Amino acid sequence: MSDHLPPSHPSVVAPKIGVVLLNLGTPDATDFWSVRRYLKEFLSDPRVIETPKWLWWPILNLVILNFRPQKAGHAYAQIWDKERNESPLRVITRGQAEALAERMSGDGVMVEYAMRYGNPSTQSVLEKMQKAGCQKILLVPLYPQYSATTTATANDKAFDALKAMRWQPAVRTTPAYFEDAKYIETLGNSIRDGVAALDFEPDLVITSYHGMPVEYLQKGDPYHCQCHKTTRLVREYLGWPKEKLMVTFQSRFGPTEWLQPYTDKTLEELPGRGIKKVAILAPAFSADCIETLEEIAMGGKETFLHAGGEKYAYIPCLNDSPAGMEMIEDMVRRELKGWL
């Protein structure tokens, strides 16, 4: 590319296509201040907390950020990858990016991962890719079901970084893949294989999705409907009866009403209804994290057994498994058509 440039011209990087896997984020460590920095960024996002800033700012800064980091830090410590000194979310998301890069190595595609909150930041990754010559970039929010609180804010952060660039790359974003045939097949197979590997036959399998305030649904967020459709399509793929697979919503925060039924309340009630053997998974997450490993795999088990349950098993997310990566590669290649 530099053959016909004058001697004083800056070096020109060969043009590349880039793919960025976008995930939620994680604190850098489990100590109070690391968790506080992460929670401040996360809970200051107006896409996540739609309470007016004048009302939310004092609640967040004077109350929540003085008490919640210690509790959250303890929860992170329960699932922290001590060998790598990182959260499982970062370890797994990096593994997904590395696996995808290997799968697409023959296409000359640069693959990176970025976090909406925390590190590596979306801005730093996009700047790195632009300097490396990526003139076309595909943004891949790793959220099967669309929500303004996840997909939209991940894209927002990327667009904010792009706004500051003099030489902007062309950009595409992947759509939600909650009903994608390959995703349904892969998720369904993971459930079937997960159940088959248990030493018991579950009375019920629960698909626990991250919750959101009911108000967001009423304002037009499609997340609730897409969660139900994912579970319905998976149930149909597996050929299971309606009563075998259930939808619940977890991780509620604050005093407002959230999407129901609540996962924790459901786990408390099931043994009293004679359902004492349960398997559970979290299809809204592409990688295991604090909400799946600490809240569901650990906390959910404690809640269920304390209420009289007998058997409880957590089925992991697709993570960077071969089947999960085949699904992601399939989606990325489809969205890159015309560029590759």
**Amino acid identity, position 163:** K
Residue 148 DSSP code: I
338 conformational bin, left if phi > 0, alpha if psi -120 to 50, beta if neither: left
Residue 262 DSSP code: B
Q: Is 291 annotated as a binding residue?
A: yes
Q: Is 210 annotated as a binding residue?
A: yes
Phi, psi of 177 (to 5 degrees): -120, 30
CA atoms of 279 and 151, how far apart (whole Å)? 28
Helix, strand or coil, per DSSP, at residue 136: strand
β-bridge mates for residue 206, sequence order:
246, 280
Q: Tokens 């089947």: give the residue.
A: 323
Are 97 and 113 in contact by the 8 Å Cβ rule? The answer is: yes
Which residues carry a binding-site annotation for Fe(2+)?
A: 210, 291
Which residues are annotated as part of the binding site? 210, 291
